[in-house]
Amino acid sequence: MDVKTLCLGALTRGDATGYEIKKHFEDAFSHFYAAAGYGSIYPALAELAEEGLVTCTELEQEKRPDKKVYSLTEAGRRAFVEALMRTPGRHKIRSEFLVLMYFAHLLPPQRLAQVMDERAAEFDGLLAQIEACGGDLENAEIPVGVRFTMGYGLAVLRAGRDYIRANQGRLLAEVSTRQAEARAG
């Protein structure tokens, strides 16, 4: 799924500028889709406008730079739904964190503790973000799919964080004793 398709999706929620689209990704997608940068969003919007999938209205502002507000066209909405029908719906993970942990026996315990702390803290932050947004999962205002992704995030992030916290001490102890044994011969 490329940034163009993602932008179409963001615009199904209402008109927005490139800047606002990026914020939306950070607010709603951060726990399941690595955010795209401006370097890919702005060119994507320009291309979508050329293809007639979005329209662009320039607004002059006082005390602020001008902004370009994009709106989804009917063709854009159709193209987006078709893209959703076609994509295999893969779930890809690239976890340098787990690569680091996989090679734990090669790293000093201090470094491992740091890496685990950082990840648990990040998961706590993402959990807080989901909990803050919209209050509870029973809120009928929230679209059903959005609620699904929030609940999914809560379930999986908690499982990950709890696993890290529960196994941190043991892993550190085991790595320390193994490395001490290795040094002793």
Residues that bind DNA (CB under 7 A): 2-3, 17-20, 23, 34, 36-40, 42-46, 61, 63-69
Could you tell me which stretch among 25-33, 48-56, 67-75, 128-136 binds a copy of itself (CB under 8 A)?
Answer: 25-33
Q: How far apart are CA 109 and CA 115, in angstroms?
A: 10
Pick 45 or 157: Cβ nearer DNA:
45
Provide the b/e sequence for 123-134 (b: ≥16 CB within 10 Å).
beebbebbeeee
For a copy of itself, the binding residue among 71, 105, 121, 135 (CB under 8 A) is: 105
Using CB under 8 A as the binding rule, the residues of this chain from 129 to 168 that contact a copy of itself are 143-146, 148-149, 151-152, 155-156, 158-160, 162-164, 167
Cα separation, 57 vs 155, whole angstroms: 40
In whole angstroms, give the CA distance from residue 150 to residue 129. Answer: 10
User: Which of the listed partners (DNA, a copy of itself, none) does 183 bind, with a CB threshold of 5 to 8 Å by partner kind?
Assistant: none
Tokens of 164: 């890290």
